[in-house]
Structure 1
Amino acid sequence: MQEGIYVKFITEKGDILIKLTHDKTPATVGNFVALAEGTQKNNRKPLGEPYYNGLKFHRVIPDFMIQGGCPLGTGTGSPGYQFDDEFHPELKHDRPGVLSMANAGPGTNGSQFFITHVPTPWLDNKHTVFGHVIEGQDVVDAIKQNDLMRELQIIRVGEAAQKWDAVTAFEKFNAEKAQRIEAERRKAEEILKNETIGFDKTESGLFYKIEQKGNGKQVQAGKTVRVHYTGMLLDKTTIFDSSYKTQINLLNL
């Protein structure tokens, strides 16, 4: 095997060998490896006891994915904490055998994960990819709901992999959360500044720009008027509301 960090799933149907992307998603891999090795504090098992051993694949959707890592076996369990997404531009759901974090929305990662049967590109930037199958995709495809993960073995190949500390990588990521939030805030402010050049601002903080003045009857304060609008995100493609669409739907009733 090439240098790196791997996990071997020993299951009822056979073994699955996955190479983990600790170089690109160190926190996500750190959490997974630390849980697998029993070095990550959680509210389900004591330190020293491997978290994943004996759990089952509680959710299997044919031609989509297999999901595991829930301590309750229902999809509702967690290790007692959550952590942020860790997307990487080079890691996509672009093939069978992608290992990715299951979540209930942004920033809700815990211990649950899934492995894909097929490419699932609609999950990009919604679920953190942190590994891919290099041996045993046929086993992934053969797994049925409630099959057991008898044991997860972490395999470290090479000096760098041997020295890599999973707990430290995970804790560092969590400690930097405030910095990431501040960086996102500054980025949003810069985008808003650039997008509102030439706009006027009301006392309430609303930015507006009159692109073409009309010459019709003036609107009087306090009067009810009807206007059309389109609400769009700053990407200028995602429309979240539109009076035009509402009007069309009403006409088609």
Structure 2
Amino acid sequence: MLHNFKFFLIFLCLIVLQIISCQSNSLKRKTINVTVETTKGNIEIELYESDAPKTVANFLGLVEQGYYNGVKFHRVAKDFVIQTGDSTGTGYGGRSIYGKPFEDELDSSTSSYKEGYQRGVVAMANSGPNTNTSQFFIVLQNAPWLPKKYTIFGKVVKGMDVVDSIAAVEIFPVFSPNDGKPVVDVVIKRITVKK
């Protein structure tokens, strides 16, 4: 009888462990990886589809259209961000697959929102609430002071050395002595979805 009870307890423990394992797998963030090929090297970004589905759909749609091919990094803010995604290269352009700017995805319950603007985070650039199009930035240094009003939709998982080399280029000061446009263009050759 005691032997049967021990067997039952072991069996029950295995079932509980299986349930916990399934739950933790379903709680994992759904991700897609892309490779951004630049004139300085490759950057691999993990996209957070579960945290920012509309933003990731927009980004991937633009990638599929070839929108980012030939687009410059138009802004380098030393020790802060590098920014791209404007086909005009001015910082004032951009488009979305929705035909208009789309809303922010700033859900405080998501992992990315809780993580905040850490080094390597990829977030949408905007000109105010709900004005997202195609521009995005990559954070160079942890920026806990940055207001949480920019949709985080990914993180660099490989190639931060390339990001740092872009951040180190000489710039024409625009916004401040350390924030401006690269003297020599740094360009996205293409972006591919990793399969």
Q: TM-score scaled by structure 1?
A: 0.54
Question: 3-state DSSP class of the match of 1:31?
Answer: helix
Letter in 1 for 2:89: G
Q: Which amino acid in structure 2 is aligned with residue 148 of structure 1?
A: V
2:61 match: secondary structure:
helix
1:138 corresponds to 2:161: yes
* 2:149 alignment partner in structure 1: 126
Give the counterpart of 2:83 among 67, 77, 96.
67
Q: CA deviation at 1:124?
A: 4.3
Equivalent position amino acid for 1:117 in 2: L
* Alpha-carbon distance in structure 2 between the residues aligned to 1:124 and 1:88: 14
Separation in 1, partners of 2:74, 2:89 = 5
Q: How does 1:1-253 map to 2 (within 5 A)?
A: 4-38=31-65, 50-79=66-95, 81-89=100-108, 90-91=111-112, 92-143=115-166, 144=169, 145=182, 146-156=185-195
CA gap of 1:94–1:101, structure 2 versus 1, over 3 A, is closer
Gaps of 5+ in 1: 39-49, 157-253
User: CA RMSD of the aligned region, Å?
Assistant: 1.7
Q: Which amino acid aligns with 1:128?
A: T
1:93 and 1:124 in contact (8 A); partners too? no
**Partner residue of 1:246?**
none
Q: Which runs of 5+ in 2 are unaligned?
A: 1-29, 170-181
> How many Å separate the matches in 1 of 2:39 and 2:149?
30
Structure 1 range deviating more: 85-94 or 112-121:
85-94
Q: Hey, what's the Cα distance between the residues in 2 that align with 1:154 and 1:66?
A: 21
How far is the alpha carbon of 1:125 from its aligned partner? 2.3
Match of 2:176 in 1: none
User: For the Cα contact (< 8 Å) 2:38–2:189, is it kept in 1?
Assistant: yes
Distance (Å, rounded) in 2 between the aligned partners of 1:6 and 1:65: 21
Any conservation in 2 of the 1:22–1:29 contact (CA below 8 Å)? yes
Q: After superposition, give the CA deviation of every residue in 1:176-201 in whole Å (9 maximum; x if it has no partner).
A: xxxxxxxxxxxxxxxxxxxxxxxxxx
TM-score if structure 2 supplies the norm length?
Answer: 0.70
| 3-state SS, counterpart of residue 120 of structure 1 | coil
Secondary structure of 1:82's aligned partner: coil
The farther-off stretch of 120-129 and 25-34 is: 120-129
What does the per-residue CA deviation read over 1:97-125, in whole Å, with 9 as the maximum and x for residues that have no partner?
10000000101000000001011123342
Q: Deviations over 1:152-180 (max 9, x none)?
A: 11124xxxxxxxxxxxxxxxxxxxxxxxx
Higher mean displacement: 19-28 or 142-151: 142-151
Write the distance in 2 (CA, Å) between the matches of 1:78 and 1:128.
16
Q: Equivalents in 2 of 1:9, 1:22: separation in Å?
A: 17
Which structure's CA Rg is the greater one? 1
Which range moved further: 13-22 or 147-156?
A: 147-156
C-alpha distance in structure 2 between counterparts of 1:17 and 1:58, whole Å: 20
Deviation track 1:217-242 (CA, whole Å, cap 9, x = no partner) reads xxxxxxxxxxxxxxxxxxxxxxxxxx
Tell whether the 8 Å contact from 2:36 to 2:42 is kept in structure 1 after alignment. yes
Identity over aligned pairs, percent: 45
